[in-house]
Chain A
Amino acid sequence: MTTVATEVPGFLDLAIQFGLIVASGVTLLVGYRVIQGPTTPDRVVALDTIGTNVVAIAVLFALATGRGLFVTVSLVLAIIGFISTIAVARYVTEGDIIE
């Protein structure tokens, strides 16, 4: 399967740590919009953002630990997030997902 380089240079390690912190912080901030969001589309967009952030966190974690299995995790999460976005968009615009 995927082999990721096990020895990362120092600046890349720092960048990965910074990216993990930023992505996690943004995910927490978006959680406020999920709970508080006045309308349903607000919550939908916020949940979609959380999904994208979890994909980013999985890729960064794969880079940091050198374990390729998290790349597979992020790939599957990205596919399912894409399809759920389309399904919710159809539900919001037409009120019916499958005709």
Chain B
Amino acid sequence: MSDGIQRETTVVAKTVTRIVVPLILVTAIALLLQGHNLPGGGFIAGVLTATAFALTYIIYGLDYIQTELLDRGVDVPDGVPTALARESGTVFGIGLAIAAGGGIAAMVLGYPFLTQAVAFLEHLPVYHELEVASAFVFDLGVYFVVVGGLLTILSVVGAE
């Protein structure tokens, strides 16, 4: 839509993308939250989130995302990673720090590396009983590592 010279994305594809991307993200977050005792977890949630972003890259194009949504310039010289690629790499690093920090926190408390625990919160207003598992921190780290890694690959390979 921004340049309109060579891109011919139909209105149908754009509208479907706007409806489907929030649904994919909600599914991904549900899989992330149930991951410690049901099928799901950080990896598949990260893959689904990356596919949601891939859908917007495919339909709207990398240039549109960078100029209209992130308010960045498009013109970067060859060999220099774009803003999208650099920020995806930052997400990758944050995820690695969360996952490793979750393991080291157990060592600080005197247990072996990556020791996990679970706590049950009872008498809550809506949920009545909520299970808080420390494995969720590691899942969250895996989630950010997968999202960052896949989005870096997509933005670098897609820009070529």
Contacts and interface: CB of A to CB of B under 8 A. Distances in A.
A28 interface: no
A86 B13 contact: yes
Nearest to B23: A79
B54 A83 contact: yes
Interface string B33-52: 01000111000100010010
B132 interface: no
B39 A79 contact: no
A87 B54 CA distance: 9
B62 A76 contact: no
Given A86-B55, A86-B58, A86-B59, A79 B31 contact: no
Interface string B1-37: 0000011100001000000100010010001001000
A82 interface: yes
A1 B154 CA distance: 32
Given A1-B38, A83-B55, A75 B27 contact: yes
A1 to B, nearest CB: 5
A83 B150 CA distance: 15
A35 to B, nearest CB: 28
B61 A99 contact: yes
B44 A97 contact: no
B39 A69 contact: yes
Nearest to A91: B58
Nearest to A90: B58
Contacts of A98: 54, 57-58, 61-62, 154, 157-158
A1 B59 CA distance: 33
Contact of A79 (B8, B51, B62): B51
Interface in B138-160: 154, 157-158
A17 interface: no
Given A69-B38, A69-B39, A86-B59, A79 B48 contact: yes
B102 to A, nearest CB: 24
Contacts of A69: 38-39
Contacts of A80: 51
A65 interface: no
Those 10 A-B pairs whose CB atoms lie nearest each other, nearest first: A98-B158, A69-B39, A99-B61, A98-B57, A83-B51, A1-B38, A83-B55, A72-B39, A79-B24, A87-B58
